[in-house]
Amino acid sequence: MAFEGGVNAVPLPHSPANGGEARRDRLPSLERVVSAVTCLGCGCMCDDIEVVVRGERIVEARNACQLGVTWFGDGVVPASARVAGRETSIEEALAVAARLLGRSARVLVYLAPDISCETQKEGIALADALRGALDSVTSATAMSSVLAAQEQGRASATLGEIRNRADLVVFWGVDPAMRYPRYWTRYAPEPAGLHVPAGRRSRTVVAVDIGDSRAPADADLRVALSEEDEVATLTALGALFSGAVSLEDWHFLATPWAHARALVPVLRAARYAVVVADAEASAGGDSGRASALVALTQLLNGSVRCALSTLRAGGNRSGAESVATWQTGFPAAVDFARGYPRYRPYDGAAAHRLARGEIDAVFVVGAAGLIPGALQSMMKAVPCVVAGPRASESDLAAVDVVIDTGVAGIHEGGTAIRMDDVPLPLRPTLSGSPEATAVVRNLGNLVRRSRPRQPGGETGPMTRTGTPESAR
């Protein structure tokens, strides 16, 4: 009864379009259709994609949105290994990379997008062995929402729960059509669910425009806020909803309160409200917004239920946070310098360390092209190894060692984690590219062999009695 792989090879009749081409594969004219493929184009991670493969190319990604179609592309990726710009074998590139990282004192291991959790595990193991720093794209793009949730917790739900239950959907300064195109049709408000049988008609949609960030056009109620009023409106909403300030008696007509007054009756009428906000937009300096969103959505759980749905971008970013958390206790911005993980989100993210000149070598694993540009520039300034999809075509192509790998979910299987922390399998549709997991594991083995054993820990817990002293 084990699921046997989901690859439904559907041979199609000979196609004249490509029939004349000489191909290396045995069945040049056949198309294969791989179903239930997971797309990493954005954090929605739609897993209903039917990928049509002809020869060694993807020719169609059925069910995918435009973002997904672009993400799959034709699946053709470079397969280069370079040392100092010179083409070489993967083996030699790995040997040089191992020497470079092995002799460095302060290595940064950076988890870029488009790698599986299995690859992320290998990258974190390497950071641990090297007593390096560890970081991922999260710290540059979504850290304020991570920190807000660590400070206060959060009230949330997986996307399927929202699909089946949310009767009020508030798009807070975001139109998912732009960066999360199928959120609307797969999760909410479009689909019918167990408790919202008429789909869109069973749900109320509220659009909150914030400055230039427009919410969807198809809304039952629209409120437009200035960026300056955003946090004040969130806190005013909380005060009015909870009854700390009486809706009837309040005559303070500053705009945040006016907006809040318009929204409160809709919230009170809901059974299950979801507030959808884009965590990736919160690049920095706006923890007030992330915190206020968390606080409000927690507070709305009283007479109604409420969940905050934070949108995350693609490439298995949530996976990097999850794996780092189970291996180190922290989601990003980790420092192993003392031989154990420490959390440095405020001053020890990759950008901080590189800017202060604390890093003497960088190892990027994943799609370098998806790292924020400012970080890429700083990485280029120190000895650097990049292993990942399209490394040789990225802006980091000229660094010391470059190893192209396949893309997780296209050339390599494994696990990825959706924006709501639901894990999904990745189904490779093409083969032949070096697998990132194996590349990083081999590199790790080479580095460990080249470095003397670090002084490690006694097995402390065994000498303790009762509850861990440090936790008391």
Q: What is the smallest separation between the CB atom of 324 and another protein, expressed in angstroms? A: 9
Nearer to another protein, 36 or 177 (CB): 36
Q: What is the smallest separation between the CB atom of 403 and another protein, expressed in angstroms? A: 22
Q: What is the smallest separation between the CB atom of 404 and another protein, expressed in angstroms? A: 26
The first and second tokens of residue 368, run together, are 């370098």
Q: What residue type is 347 in one-letter code?
A: D
Half-sphere exposure of 324 (CA within 13 A, CB side): 28
The first and second tokens of residue 445, run together, are 């083995």
- Of the candidate spans 84-92, 94-102, 255-263, 338-346, the one that interacts with another protein by CB under 8 A turns out to be 338-346
35, 185, 226, 287: which one binds another protein (CB under 8 A): 35
Footprint on residues 48-77 left by another protein (CB under 8 A): 48
Nearer to another protein, 132 or 216 (CB): 132
Question: Which candidate, 159, 155, 161, 157, places its Cα nearest to that of 196?
Answer: 161
Strand partners, 210: 213, 225
424, 439, 440, 443: which one binds another protein (CB under 8 A): 424
Helix (H/G/I), strand (E/B), else coil: 260: helix
341, 369, 389, 406: which one binds another protein (CB under 8 A): 341
Q: What is the smallest separation between the CB atom of 181 and another protein, expressed in angstroms? A: 15
Q: What is the smallest separation between the CB atom of 117 and another protein, expressed in angstroms? A: 6
Q: What is the smallest separation between the CB atom of 62 and another protein, expressed in angstroms? A: 13
Q: For residue 148, what is the enclosing H or E element?
A: helix 143-152
- Of the candidate spans 84-92, 97-105, 247-255, 302-310, the one that interacts with another protein by CB under 8 A turns out to be 302-310
328, 392, 429, 442: which one binds another protein (CB under 8 A): 328
Torsion (CA) 264, 269, 274, 279 in degrees, nearest 10: -10
Binding flag, residue 317, another protein (CB under 8 A): no
Q: What is the smallest separation between the CB atom of 390 and another protein, expressed in angstroms? A: 26
Q: What is the smallest separation between the CB atom of 164 and another protein, expressed in angstroms? A: 6
Footprint on residues 122-141 left by another protein (CB under 8 A): 125, 128-129
Residue 281: count of CB within 10 angstroms of its CB = 19
**Contact by Cβ (8 Å): 399, 380:** yes
- Of the candidate spans 25-33, 92-100, 315-323, 400-408, the one that interacts with another protein by CB under 8 A turns out to be 315-323
11, 153, 284, 357: which one binds another protein (CB under 8 A): 153
Written as one string, the DSSP assignment of 318-380 is HHHHHHHHHHHSSSS-EE-TTSS-EE-TTT-SHHHHHHTT--SEEEEES-GGGS-HHHHHHHH
**Contact by Cβ (8 Å): 363, 412:** no
x/- map, 83-122, another protein, by CB under 8 A: ----------------------------------x---x-
Binding flag, residue 436, another protein (CB under 8 A): no
Distance CA 404, CA 387 (A): 6
Residue identified by tokens 């408000």 is 189
Nearer to another protein, 434 or 444 (CB): 444
28, 78, 199, 425: which one binds another protein (CB under 8 A): 425
Question: Which candidate, 47, 64, 11, 30, places its Cα nearest to that of 316?
Answer: 47
Question: Which candidate, 198, 189, 192, places its Cα nearest to that of 220?
Answer: 189
Residue 155: count of CB within 10 angstroms of its CB = 18
Torsion (CA) 430, 431, 433, 434 in degrees, nearest 10: 130
Q: What is the smallest separation between the CB atom of 196 and another protein, expressed in angstroms? A: 11
- Of the candidate spans 65-73, 230-238, 382-390, 421-429, the one that interacts with another protein by CB under 8 A turns out to be 421-429
Nearer to another protein, 85 or 423 (CB): 423
Residue identified by tokens 């206790």 is 329
Burial of residue 97, with CB atoms counted within 10 A of its CB: 0-12 exposed, 13-18 middle, 19 or more buried = buried
Q: What is the smallest separation between the CB atom of 174 and another protein, expressed in angstroms? A: 19
x/- map, 192-231, another protein, by CB under 8 A: xxxx------------------------------------
x/- map, 251-290, another protein, by CB under 8 A: --------------------xx------------------
N-to-C CA span, the chain = 47
Footprint on residues 167-196 left by another protein (CB under 8 A): 186-187, 192-195
**Contact by Cβ (8 Å): 255, 241:** no
Q: What is the smallest separation between the CB atom of 35 and another protein, expressed in angstroms? A: 7
